[in-house]
Amino acid sequence: MLGNLKGMVMTFITSLRTPVTAQYPDVRMPVEERRMGFPMLLWDDNIVEPYCTGCMVCVRECPTKCMSATMTDNPKHAEGTSHRRKIIDVFEINIGRCILCGICVDVCNFDAIEMSYETELSTRTRNGRRMDLGELLERGYNWQAQSGWIPASQRVQNSEEQE
């Protein structure tokens, strides 16, 4: 009997609490400024070309198989203005299948891809959000400016110079 009463009191108290459920997208909860969003491709301003060589390592390692890429011979390498023999030709990420695991970033040896701050890219259509090379580079370029990103190889070089 006492147990039942306690339960009813607890239910009554709980019913007076302010709801904690936010009805997205009408109500947006605050998110950390440096959150991990969808992956984007990065742009090498020094050579004026993508960092991505189309090596396919990320494509092979992606657990949801949502990426595809093809490489081509880099004309700038033939001209002697780029150290990249190969360069990305076609790249696509099916954002609807990306689980934001970050594996593509971890396995890339060319500083070519990073997890951006972009988290709101959902659609109501199955497979309805595919990003091609142009969009991935444009969004990546904006993210580079926003975050002050410098390549990992450059960061290592900077820290060695400071030592």
Question: Which chain residues interact with ligand SF4 by CB under 6 A?
Answer: 39, 52-58, 62-64, 66-67, 69, 88, 93, 98-104, 108, 110, 112-113
| Cβ-contact 67, 93 below 8 angstroms | yes
Shortest distance, CB of residue 160 to ligand SF4, whole angstroms? Answer: 23
The residue among 99 and 156 lying less far from ligand SF4, judged by its C-beta, is 99
The residue among 10 and 100 lying less far from ligand SF4, judged by its C-beta, is 100
CA-based nearest residue to 42, from 130, 142, 127? 142
Shortest distance, CB of residue 56 to ligand SF4, whole angstroms? Answer: 5
Shortest distance, CB of residue 129 to ligand SF4, whole angstroms? Answer: 12
The residue among 97 and 142 lying less far from ligand SF4, judged by its C-beta, is 97
Residues 100, 94, 60, 45, CA torsion sign: negative
Shortest distance, CB of residue 153 to ligand SF4, whole angstroms? Answer: 13
3-state secondary structure of 59: helix
The residue among 48 and 99 lying less far from ligand SF4, judged by its C-beta, is 99
Q: How far is the CA of 43 from the CAs of 56, 76, 87, 110, 133, in angstroms?
A: 18, 15, 12, 11, 11
CA-based nearest residue to 95, from 55, 136, 144? 136
